[in-house]
Amino acid sequence: MGATNCPETPRQKMIQMMYLVYTAMLALNVSAEILNAFIVVDDTLAISTRNATQQNYSDYNWFEQQKTILGEAKIHDAYVNAQTLRKETNQMVKYIENMRQDLIFYVDGDTLVEVKNDKGKKEKVTTTVANMKAKENFDKPTDYMINKKHAFELADKIRDYKKNILKLAKASDRERLSAGIGLDVDQKFTKEGAVQSWAEHNFDHIIAAAAITLLNKEIGEVRNAESMMLAYLKASISAEDFKFDQVTGRSIPKSQMVFAGDAYEADIIVAAFDSKSTPEVWYKMGADTLTVEGLGGATKLEGENGLVKLKIGTSGTGEQKYAGLIKIMDPSGQPKYYGFSDKYTVLTPSATIAADKMNVLYAGIANPVSVSGPVAPDKLSVSFPGCNASSQGAGKFNVNVPTSLIGKTVQATVAAKVGESTKTLGTTTFRVKRVPDPKAVLGANIRGGKRAKAELLANPVIRATMGDDFVYDLKWSVNSFRVIIVSKGMEEPAIVCQGGSLSDKAKSAIQKASSNTVIYFSDIKVSSEAGSRTLDEFSVRIR
């Protein structure tokens, strides 16, 4: 279409122009895709670096733990070198991060963002490739990194950093470590026949998005170098020492059950374990020892985070024993076996519950109840639904039952706290009864029959008593009663006495009474913790 001997028609010129525009649009789309790719790479590098930093932080903590486990003297050199490595690395990372941020501001201009503080000032904020305004700019990155020599300064810093951390290793190991660490800024590159330095090859005439991403990559390389040196320092402590990252205290009891009169005994130890490596554990019931040859009939246990927990079901009672074997790999990769054994006693869940005075519970009063079981008394608890059971110490309880439960039953439950769990030991059903009415008597035991006036006046007090077959120590108070004298078939007006004693008027009437006079003691009102009652009347005849 462009030949001189074939002039283009207006239509052909329009088609060619559309083709050029289309090609330009394709180029723009490719450019946008490339910029988006740099955003993805930059974000991925940031995540990878963050993960490596966290892992390295855990390794530094490991050195602190080994100081406790192995002693500071044994790991002194490696510990000091680790702290030096941390300082050198943090300084190097900080330098690159500052350069990265300065380059972003140089390309985009000093982006200022309002911050909420009491001074109301603006300050620079960290940004990323994703929110840069001039990701595709070529000139400013080249000016900043090459013309202003920042890329060459970065190369010098990386060179010094690598030299300093390699000094932490033995001279015989430095060449091997140097090759693995990388960070080689002395290598030369060829571009279009010209020899370029590391700085020129990486930062000469590249877009801003690429330059920022490359700086992020260098931060990741530094963290990777830190990780490799940490692994070297950890291995330098001792190839034969087990490496642990968790330390905790443990109490190992000689028995999980202690009876009254016995002493509780336990071994207190410091236990160390590696949470990243879970040992293999087997156990066998009824065995005193377990060997590698006997693993065929043993049960294998699963664990996690460096710990294996043993849980054995109890199908029988009495003393049980078991033995086991622990397999762990030493730092050289060889298996090590450690045996263990123990025994324990399985008891049948049971308890004895008995009312101390009788086999029922009486409503309205404190019923003393004793509770026992195969554990120490202070580990026992008792439940009486709908009642109030208060501990009196040493397995003793006072149970108060409301009168609303009279004629019903209460099921008491005894439980024991064993370790962190609570075990039900047994239940017993109690019948709830009303406290029987007491009987009223005059003096010691006068209640009916023919009596001399002198005998009556010598015992001028009404008492309320429960009788010998009611063994609770329940006291009743007499609040009032009436004395009625019937002489020769004629009933005299009743004499009301307050409290339990005969009033003077009542005594005088009895003194004047003739033979065969009947004296009635009625409307006897009494009270106790069981409530108020009106007792049956009784009478005596004057002899």
Q: With contact defined as beta carbons under 8 Å apart, do 363 and 434 qualify?
A: yes
Contact 408, 432 (CB under 8 A): yes
Q: What is the mean pLDDT of residues 307-325?
A: 77
Which tokens is 14 given?
A: 């329009």
Residue 379: partners with Cβ closer than 8 Å, 6 or more residues away: 416, 417, 418
Residue 465 host element (H or E) = strand 462-465
Which range, of 59-63, 96-100, 387-391, 497-501, averages the lowest pLDDT?
59-63
Tell me how far CA of residue 340 lies from CA of 170, 281, 397, in angstroms.
41, 10, 43
Q: Specify the pLDDT at position 66.
A: 78
* pLDDT tens, residue by residue, 465-511: 988 888 888 999 999 999 999 998 889 999 999 999 999 999 999 99
Q: Report CA-CA distances (Å) from 347 to 173, 254, 285, 372, 487.
A: 62, 17, 17, 14, 74
Model confidence at 520: pLDDT above 90: yes
Q: What is the pLDDT of residues 140-164, one digit of tens each?
A: 888 888 899 998 999 999 999 999 9
Q: How far apart are CA 503 and CA 491, in angstroms?
A: 19
Going by pLDDT thresholds of 50, 70 and 90, the confidence category of residue 311 is: confident
Q: What pairs with residue 343 in β-bridges?
A: 321
What was the pLDDT predicted at 9?
Answer: 46
Q: How confident is the model at residue 251 (pLDDT cuts 50, 70, 90)?
A: low
Q: Give the tokens for residue 68.
A: 């406790």
- Measured CA to CA, the distance from residue 141 to residue 211 in angstroms comes to 7
Using CA atoms, how far apart are residues 168 and 80, in angstroms rounded to an integer?
Answer: 10
Residue 24 confidence (pLDDT) above 50: no
Q: 279, 298 in Cβ contact below 8 A?
A: no
CA pair distance 185, 199, nearest whole angstrom:
8
What length is written for the chain?
A: 543
pLDDT band at residue 221, thresholds of 50, 70 and 90? confident
> Is the predicted pLDDT of residue 454 greater than 80, yes or no?
yes
Burial class of residue 103 (count of CB atoms within 10 Å of its CB; 0-12, 13-18, 19+): buried
Q: What is the pLDDT of residue 218?
A: 87
Which pLDDT score, from 0 to 100, does residue 260 have? Answer: 45
36 compared with 131, residue with greater pLDDT: 131
Q: Answer yes or no: is pLDDT of 366 > 50.
A: yes
On the question of pLDDT at 255 being above 70, the answer is no
Q: For residues 74 and 83, what is the distance between their CA atoms, to the nearest angstrom?
A: 16
Question: CA-CA distance, 532 to 542, in Å (whole number)?
Answer: 31
| Residue among 204, 228, 227, 208 at smallest CA distance from 216 | 208
More confident residue, 313 or 94: 94
pLDDT at 121: 62
pLDDT at 256 over 70: no
CATH annotation of 352-433: 2.60.40.10
Q: Pull the structure tokens for residue 152.
A: 């060459």
Which has the closest alpha carbon to 361: 297, 319, 427, 409?
409
Within 127-257, residue ranges assigned H as helices are: 139-142, 150-166, 171-181, 198-203, 208-237
The string of DSSP letters for 62-106 reads HHHHHHHHH-HHHHHHHHHHHHHHHHHHHHHHHHHHHHHHHHHHH
pLDDT at 342: 82
Number of Cβ within 10 Å of residue 231's Cβ equals 12
Whole-number average pLDDT of the chain: 80
Domain ranges of the chain: 10-237, 246-341, 352-433, 439-542
- Say how far apart CA 309 and CA 307 lie, in whole Å: 7
* Predicted pLDDT of residue 518: 95
Q: What is the pLDDT of residue 193?
A: 74
Q: 3-state DSSP call for residue 490?
A: strand
Of 133-142, 268-277, 425-434, the poorest mean pLDDT is in: 268-277
Specify the pLDDT at position 329.
75
φ/ψ bin of 364: left (φ > 0), alpha (ψ from -120 to 50), beta (otherwise): left
pLDDT digits (tens, 9 = 90+) for 327-350: 887 665 678 888 888 877 676 665
Q: Which two tokens stand for residue 281?
A: 């554990």
Mean pLDDT value across residues 246-262: 58
Model pLDDT for residues 266-293, shown as the tens digit of each residue: 666 666 667 767 788 888 888 888 888 8
Which pair of structure tokens corresponds to residue 307? 């710990």
CA 167-173-174 angle, 5° bins? 45
Strand partners, 520: 484, 539
| Residue 318 pLDDT grade (very low, low, confident, very high; cuts 50, 70, 90) | low
Share above pLDDT 70 across residues of the chain, in percent, rounded to a whole number? 75
Q: Which two tokens stand for residue 24?
A: 């330009």
Q: What are the distances in angstroms from CA 372 to CA 378, 381, 393, 445? A: 10, 10, 12, 41
User: Of the ranges 29-38, 167-176, 194-203, which one carries the lowest mean pLDDT score?
Assistant: 29-38
Complete DSSP assignment for 389-454: EEEEETTEEEEE--GGGTTSEEEEEEEEEETTEEEEEEEEEEEEEPPPPPEEEETTTB-SSEE-HH
